[in-house]
Amino acid sequence: MWIGTQTGESADHIRYIRKSFSPAKPVKRAFVRGTADNLYWVYLNGEQIGYHWSWFDHELWDITGKLRQGRNALAFKARNVDGPGGFFAQIGIEYQDGTRALIASDRTWKF
């Protein structure tokens, strides 16, 4: 889902977007994929894990070794420099038992 301009966006067009999640079982591997118009920084549990300057493509970050047991927080700091902006992200988790979970950006993400 592409999430566009929201009420309360700052004058410098910086948005903070976050999602808390808790892996249900032991994790084999996990990743974050995302993009935002125009540039963005990505944080997991307060640690910067990525940066990208273009919304034309998405980036993929391996977060397997950075996940905590229990609650985790993924955050994007996005800055749009002209016109309407947008955001898209996915958290993909593969569990040790072979099952998978996908958490995609939607209206439940906090702005």
Q: What is the pTM of this model?
A: 0.87
Q: Which of 4, 69, 59 is nearest to 35 (CA)?
A: 59
Summarised one tens digit per residue, pLDDT across range 62-103 is 999 999 999 999 999 988 877 667 889 999 999 999 999 999
108: tokens are 């439940």
Q: What is the rounded distance in angstroms from the CA atom of residue 45 to the CA atom of residue 68?
A: 9
Mean per-residue pLDDT, 7-33: 87
Mean confidence (pLDDT) of the chain: 88
CB atoms within 10 A of CB 43: 16
Mean per-residue pLDDT, 45-71: 92
CB atoms within 10 A of CB 47: 9
Residues 6+ apart with CB under 8 A from 64: 27, 28, 29, 30, 31
Q: Which of 21, 73, 23 is nearest to 48 (CA)?
A: 73
AA letter at 1:
M
100: tokens are 């998978």
